[in-house]
Amino acid sequence: MASIEMKNIVKKYGDGFPAVNNVSIDVADGEFVILVGPSGCGKSTLLRMIVGLEDITSGEMVIGEKKVNDLAPRDRNLAMVFQNYALYPHLTVYENIAFPLRLAGTDGKELDEKVRSASKTLELDEHLDRKPGNLSGGQRQRVAMGRAIVRDADAFLFDEPLSNLDAKLRGQMRSEISRLQKKLGITTVYVTHDQTEAMTLGDRVAVLKRGFLQQLASPRELYTNPGNLFVAGFIGSPPMNFLPATVKGNSVKLPFGTVEIPEDKAKKASRKKKDLLIAGIRPEHFEDASVVDPSKKGSTFRAQVDVVEWLGNEAYAYIPFEAPPEVQKQLEQLERDLDGESLRTQLVVSLDGASMVKEGDDAEIWVDTSKMHLFDPETGENLTIDLDNAGEIPNHDEAGVVEAQEAV
Amino acid sequence: MRNNASTRVGTVIGAILILIWCLLPVAWIISLSFKSQTAITNGSPGFFPADGDGAGWQNYQDVLANDQFRRAIFNSIGISLIATLLSVIIATLAAYAIARLDFPGKKLVLTMALAIAMFPVVSLVGPLFDMWRTIGLYDTWPGLIIPYMSFTLPLAIWTLSAFFREIPWELEQAAQVDGATSWQAFRKVIVPLAAPGVFTAAILTFFFAWNDFVFGISLTSTERARPIPAALSFFVGADPFNRPASLLAAGAVVSTIPIIIIVLIFQRKIVAGLTSGAVKG
């Protein structure tokens, strides 16, 4: 057991490309922290620097009060599960799990006990004599985890452990990992590009983009108080809607009409003195006005529904809109950052399953404006953020500046 | 079905033709080795010895009783095994470095290795003869082991580095995280997985060393280090004008036996797909 402290970690590759840029993350003892971001954001590199498979260009890596920058992987006492499992194919499952113990010089009886208890935890007992080549993907995954839990490691590191499994198995293994981590109470750092895994597994989630830490917060804080456009767009599925917005007093002009927002939000938004902002509203904060309790606060507007996807418990309605070029450009950049492709600008609205809205209808849509966020279109910064409930956002203001410079 | 059957018949006929083509000389040598010396001198064209021409196991007994021959067998086995062992060890280490590490001059090493392999062996015999005589390696085991090693190393390095490249790097990293030193990771994970490559390289090296004639005859002068191929050519019976062909045949047969054994042993280790299951394929 140990805490992991990353202080201003920088990783520059030989060609000078900075893969990780001044990232500081504290992982408390026993905490489950997720590193998440689109591909190329430096999350795996960061993990490999923790375990010692990559050199640290600058900054300090402290594991359990000990600076480990220059220690070899084997001296750091960490256990890692690799994305492609990296099982030893010439050894049986038993020997695979026993491998770290044998290296540590554990002898006969103790070794056997430990291996058997690990295999019992992971329900691998009947496969102990088989070779990894004869196992299914899920079983291999469990063997890889067995190799990690059999040692008394200071921390677990997972590098996208579930990305090679099919959807159903992924769900099962996800809960299995969560249960195991709670049971063992061991410090865990988990890398993934999947925001569902990030949200469901982590005590805290670190969102990274192109080597920069965007926000480090609990899943709930990330969801309700994203620090910038990128985090807002990355967390949540379907993603947050981004609309061009003009704020005047307490009213916000959206492409579909004007809505009222709470006064404190309006005040925060006006501090940058910009005419055009980007409004971010999650799909579930819209509703078919006909099914909303009239006592609920909010505004309504009318819009032409393009497509409806009815899923039973809810329905997604798509409403296309036109965005001015400044906003359009920013949204396209955001899509690229999120590994997506910029398609048409459209609003995704999550409706109640009882809603009778059909494709082509001119529907009246209700929106919960108290949940609306307003972003600076140039820096992407969230102007209406509640900083007390947003975890850590490194150089909240400067982050935007850096990005603006990058864009030039 | 008919088509299938005729294809199979064709395959069998083809296989038999190839076998005859390849094995007829071997069969003839075996046939010769069972004929008596007089039968050969008189001319005995049949495959099976004619009545009274058969020598039974006499030739084999004579060959094995021959000190010179026994000594040559011993030399050959010793020299070939040592050369193989050294060559494989050095090639394994070199190939691992080439496959895994980035060091200046990596290309140069590989090109040099190829260049050495392209050198005609005969062109080096003269200089080597002079050098070995000066250094004192002439007519010794090391005098043969060194050239065998240097000529088989390039091939072994190229074969092995191809094998190493196919082993996922994650395995080694996993081993290091699990607490292995680089050397332990190499020995316990990488080498077992590269075993097919190691044994392929070993067989090729052993073949080269065992079959070599040019070095064997030029760099030795006595039975101290003379290997079998060279020894057979010096094998003269009682009558120097009448070469003991049947004895030589028996010697040739005996000298192929170790190589068959070695191939059978090593071949078992060459199993494809040893790395399956290591990583998600």
CATH number, domain of A67, equals: 3.40.50.300
Q: Does residue A47 sit within a domain?
A: yes
Q: Are residues B101 and B155 in the same domain?
A: yes
Question: What is the number of structural domains in chain A?
Answer: 2
Q: How confident is the model at residue B280 (pLDDT cuts 50, 70, 90)?
A: low
Q: CB–CB of B140/B224 below 8 Å? A: yes
Q: Using the predicted structure, report yes or no on whether residue A157 has a pLDDT greater than 90.
A: yes
pLDDT tens, residue by residue, B176-192: 999 999 899 989 998 88
Q: How confident is the model at residue B263 (pLDDT cuts 50, 70, 90)?
A: confident
Residue of A nearest to B172 (CA): A86
Q: How confident is the model at residue A405 (pLDDT cuts 50, 70, 90)?
A: very low
CA distance A37 to B61: 79
Q: What CATH number has the domain bearing residue B197?
A: 1.10.3720.10
Residue B269: the pLDDT is 72
Q: Does residue B224 sit within a domain?
A: yes
Q: What is the mean pLDDT of chain A?
A: 87
Q: Are residues A198 and A292 in the same domain?
A: no
Q: Are residues A184 and A241 in the same domain?
A: no
Q: Using the predicted structure, report yes or no on whether residue A404 has a pLDDT greater than 60.
A: no
Q: Does residue A394 sit within a domain?
A: no
CB contact (8 A) between residue B179 and residue A89: no
Residue A129: the pLDDT is 93
Q: Are residues B54 and B91 in the same domain?
A: no
The alpha carbon dihedral of A11, A16, A18, A22 has a sign of positive
Q: Which chain A positions have a beta carbon within 8 Å of B175's beta carbon?
A: 88, 99
Contacts of A300 (CB under 8 A, 6+ apart): A289, A364, A365, A366, A367
Domain enclosing residue A75, as ranges: 4-221
Q: Are residues A100 and A205 in the same domain?
A: yes
Residue A342: the pLDDT is 63
* Percent above pLDDT 70 for chain B: 91
pLDDT tens, residue by residue, A1-16: 789 999 999 999 888 8
Which region among A16-25, A186-195, A339-348, B25-34 has the lowest average model confidence (pLDDT)?
Answer: A339-348
Q: Does residue B226 sit within a domain?
A: yes
Q: Does residue A126 sit within a domain?
A: yes
Work out the average pLDDT over A374-389. 86
Question: Residue A60: in which H helix or E strand, if any?
Answer: strand A58-63
CA distance B171 to B177: 10
Amino acid at A47: L
Give which of B115, B114, B69, B75 is closest to B232, Cα–Cα.
B69
Q: CB–CB of A261/A370 below 8 Å? A: yes
Comparison of pLDDT for B51 and B19, the residue scoring more: B19
Exposed, middle or buried, B59 (CB in 10 Å: 0-12/13-18/19+)?
buried
Work out the average pLDDT over A63-73. 91
Q: Are residues B153 and B42 in the same domain?
A: no
Q: Using the predicted structure, report yes or no on whether residue B18 has a pLDDT greater than 90.
A: yes
Give which of A75, A70, A69, A54 is closest to A6, Cα–Cα.
A69
pLDDT tens, residue by residue, A312-322: 888 999 998 88
ipTM higher than threshold 0.85: no
Q: Are residues B76 and B178 in the same domain?
A: yes
Give which of A292, A276, A266, A363 is closest to A327, Cα–Cα.
A276
Q: CB–CB of B34/B49 below 8 Å? A: yes
Q: Does residue B173 sit within a domain?
A: yes
Q: Are residues A167 and A244 in the same domain?
A: no
* Percent above pLDDT 90 for chain A: 41
B20 part of contact set with chain A, CB < 8 Å: no
Q: CB–CB of A165/A172 below 8 Å? A: no
Q: Does residue B278 sit within a domain?
A: no
Q: Does residue A34 sit within a domain?
A: yes
Q: Does residue B275 sit within a domain?
A: no
Rounded to whole angstroms, what are the CA distances from A345 to A54, A242, A337, A373, B131? 41, 9, 16, 18, 82
Domain enclosing residue B134, as ranges: 66-269
B166 part of contact set with chain A, CB < 8 Å: no
Q: Are residues B101 and B168 in the same domain?
A: yes
Q: Are residues B78 and B54 in the same domain?
A: no
Q: Which chain B positions have a beta carbon within 8 Å of A80's beta carbon?
A: 174, 177
Q: Which chain B positions have a beta carbon within 8 Å of A79's beta carbon?
A: 177-178
CB contact (8 A) between residue B276 and residue A133: yes
Work out the average pLDDT over A98-126. 90
Retrieve residue B170's tokens: 């994650």
Comparison of pLDDT for A43 and B116, the residue scoring more: A43
Q: Are residues B99 and B230 in the same domain?
A: yes
Q: What is the mean pLDDT of chain B?
A: 85
Residue A293: the pLDDT is 80
Q: Does residue A403 sit within a domain?
A: no
Q: Are residues B162 and B57 in the same domain?
A: no
Q: Are residues B35 and B110 in the same domain?
A: no
Q: Are residues B245 and B217 in the same domain?
A: yes
Rounded to whole angstroms, what are the CA distances from A195 to A220, A237, B86? 13, 8, 54
CA distance B209 to B211: 6
Q: Are residues A139 and A287 in the same domain?
A: no
Checking DSSP bridges between strand A204-209 and strand A4-12, what pairing results, if any? Answer: unpaired
Give which of A17, A10, A96 is closest to A56, Cα–Cα.
A10
What phi and psi, each to the nearest 5 degrees, are found at residue A258?
-105, 135
Q: Using the predicted structure, report yes or no on whether residue A90 has a pLDDT greater than 70.
A: yes
Rounded to whole angstroms, what are the CA distances from A72 to A4, A64, B117? 16, 16, 39
Q: Does residue A398 sit within a domain?
A: no
Q: Are residues B140 and B111 in the same domain?
A: yes
Q: Does residue B104 sit within a domain?
A: yes
Q: Are residues A146 and A247 in the same domain?
A: no
Q: Are residues A188 and A273 in the same domain?
A: no
Instruction: Give the ranges where chain B is alpha helix by DSSP (H).
Output: 2-33, 37-42, 58-65, 67-100, 106-118, 121-135, 141-166, 169-177, 182-185, 191-193, 195-211, 214-218, 228-233, 245-269
B181 part of contact set with chain A, CB < 8 Å: yes
Q: What CATH number has the domain bearing residue A240?
A: 2.40.50.140
Q: Are residues A153 and A250 in the same domain?
A: no
Work out the average pLDDT over B109-137. 88
Q: A237 CA to chain B: closest CA distance, Å?
A: 28
Q: How confident is the model at residue A400 (pLDDT cuts 50, 70, 90)?
A: very low
Give which of B259, B236, B233, B250 is closest to B77, Cα–Cα.
B259
Q: Does residue B277 sit within a domain?
A: no
Q: B16 CA to chain A: closest CA distance, Å?
A: 38
Give which of A387, A395, A368, A371 is closest to A265, Cα–Cα.
A371
Residue A392: the pLDDT is 86
Q: Using the predicted structure, report yes or no on whether residue A407 has a pLDDT greater than 70.
A: no
Q: Does residue A395 sit within a domain?
A: no
Q: How confident is the model at residue A398 (pLDDT cuts 50, 70, 90)?
A: very low
Residue A403: the pLDDT is 44
Residue A192: the pLDDT is 93
Q: Are residues B19 and B140 in the same domain?
A: no
- By a Cβ cutoff of 8 Å, what residues of chain A touch chain B? 51-53, 72-74, 78-80, 82, 84-90, 99-100, 103-104, 131-135, 137, 140, 147, 151, 164
Helix (H, G, I), strand (E, B) or coil at A390: coil
Residue A399: the pLDDT is 44
Which of A99, A143, A189 should be substituted to probe chain B, the one whose Cβ sees the most B Cβ atoms within 10 Å?
A99
